[in-house]
Amino acid sequence: MTIRNYSLSKRLIQLVFAITFASANAFADELKDISQMADNGQQAAALERINTYLAANPKDAQAMFMKGIILAESNKREEAIKAFTDLTEKYPNLPEPYNNLAVLYADAGQYDKAKNALETAIKTHPSYATAHENLGDIYARMASEAYDKALQLDSGNSRAQSKLAMIKDLFGNKTNMASKAVDTSKTIKTADASKPSKTATMPIRAVDKKVETVRAADTKMAEAEKPMADAGSGDEKVIIEAVNNWAKAWSAKDLDKYFNSYADSFRPAKGESHKAWEQTRRERISRPSSIGVDVANPKVTFEGADNAKVSFKQSYRADGKPIRTDKTLAMKKVGGVWLIDQEIASN
C-alpha cells in the first residue's frame, strides 16, 4: 500500500476583496476587477493587471497576496512560491502566506519545507487553526511515506502495516476538506469581520500534482481564527509586533525591512521630502559599525479602525552609550498591514 491510496487536502487561503474604506475605493475597485478576471479564467490578463498595480503600489500586501493566488491558480507553482516568499520577507508577521507556501511545497512533495512553513505560521499566530490542521496532515503524510518505505524493506512488518492502515482509515473516513467552506478570518483583510468573503481550497494529491482550486461557498468569518481583529486587543498585538519588527530591522541594519515598515504616505519631520529623508536615513543607519534599538512599555491608542498611535520608550545605541527617547509612532493600516505614517520623538 502506498500514500496514493488516499488524498490529503490543504486550504489555499483566498484573499478578501471586500474593502470598505472610502479613501481606498479606487484601489478596492481595481482589486475587485482583477479578482473577477481571475475568477472568469482570465489569469494571464489578471496577472498583467496585478503587476501593473504593484508597480504603483509596491507595499500593498493584499495585492502581493493576490498575485500569489493568481500564479498558483495558473499552475505557476515556482513563481507562486516566490511571490509568497517575498510577502513573508516583507511582512513576516502575517501567517497566511506561510500557510499557502506550505500548500505549494506539499503539492511538490517537499514536505519538510511545508512543515517548516506551517510551524512558522503557528509561531507567528499560535491560534491559527488552519495551520495546525494542515501541519497535522503533513505529519500524517510523512508518517505514511515512512511506513510505506518500511514495508518495501520488510513486507512482513505487521506493526508498519497496522499503522499505515490506521492512517488510511483516518483519511478515508474524513469529509474531503476541499468541499468545505474555509474560514476566511485568517486572510489579509481590510474589511469588516462580519461580512462574508470567498475562499478557495487546494487539494494536494500524490498522484495528480496539478494545482486545483475548488471554490467554496461564501461563509461568515468566525472570531475564533482572527489574527488581526478590528480596533482592539488583536490589532494592538499586531501593532506592537510591527513596531518590534521595525526596531529589529533597524538594529540589524536591514534597510529593506526597515523602509518596508513605513507607509508610502509617511510624513518626515520638518517638511523634508520622502526621498531626502530616506537618503539621510540610509546614511545614518549604514555609518555605525553596530546599532541596537530597544522598545519598552509600548502603549497603543486607536483613532479609528485604520489609524492608531503607539507610544514607548526607545533606547538607541550606536557605537556608544544608549540614548533614551520618548517616541510616538502614528500607525496606519494599509492593505491589511500596520505601517508607520509619522514619527514624533522627544528627549
CATH number of the domain encompassing residue 256: 3.10.450.50
How many independent structural domains does the chain possess? Answer: 2
Residues 34 and 70 in one domain: yes
What's the full length of the chain, in residues? 347
Confidence at residue 167, expressed as pLDDT on a 0 to 100 scale: 53
pLDDT at 286 over 90: yes
Cβ atoms 49, 34 nearer than 8 A: yes
> Is residue 228 very low, low, confident or very high in pLDDT (cuts 50, 70, 90)?
very low
Containing domain of residue 191, as a range?
A: 3-215
In-domain check, residue 222: no
Residue 245 has pLDDT above 90, yes or no: yes
- Same domain? 73 vs 193: yes
Q: Residue 158 pLDDT > 80, yes or no?
A: no
| pLDDT at res. 147 | 57
For residues 42 and 165, membership in a common domain is answered with yes
pTM comes to: 0.51
Rounded distance, CA 189 to CA 181, Å?
18
Instruction: Report how far residue 69's alpha carbon sits from residue 46's, in angstroms, rounded to the nearest whole number.
Output: 11
Question: Pick the residue with more confidence: 28 or 213?
Answer: 28
> Does a structural domain hold residue 324?
yes
Does 78 share its domain with 199?
A: yes
Instruction: Give the pLDDT confidence score for residue 322 in this predicted structure.
Output: 84
Average pLDDT rounded to a whole number, residues 233-258: 90
* Pair 112, 177 in one domain: yes
pLDDT tens digits for 114-156? 888 888 888 887 877 887 888 877 777 777 666 566 667 666 6
> Could you tell me if 136 and 254 lie in one domain?
no
The verdict on 136 and 281 lying in the same domain is: no
pLDDT in tens, 42-84: 989 999 999 999 999 888 888 999 999 999 988 899 999 999 9
Q: Are 138 and 46 in contact (CB under 8 A)?
A: no
Residue 225 resides in a domain: no
Over residues 103-113, mean pLDDT: 88
Is 224 contained in some domain? Answer: no
Backbone torsions φ then ψ of 229, nearest 5 degrees: -80, 170
Q: Which of 20-29, 30-39, 205-214, 304-313 has the lowest mean pLDDT?
A: 205-214
Same domain, 294 and 189: no
* Domain assignment of residue 36, yes or no: yes
| Residue 62 forms part of a structural domain | yes
Cell of 121: 505560521
* 329, part of any domain: yes
Residue 324 and residue 210 share a domain? no
Percent of the chain residues past pLDDT 90, beyond the cut: 32
Pairing verdict, β 323-334 and 214-215: unpaired
Residue 142 lies in a domain: yes
By C-alpha distance, which of 333, 345, 339 is closest to 23? 333
Clarify whether residues 82 and 180 are in a common domain.
yes
Q: Are residues 269 and 331 in the same domain?
A: yes
Same domain, 209 and 258: no
- The CATH number covering residue 53 comes to 1.25.40.10
Measure the CA–CA gap between 227 and 238, rounded to whole angstroms. Answer: 8
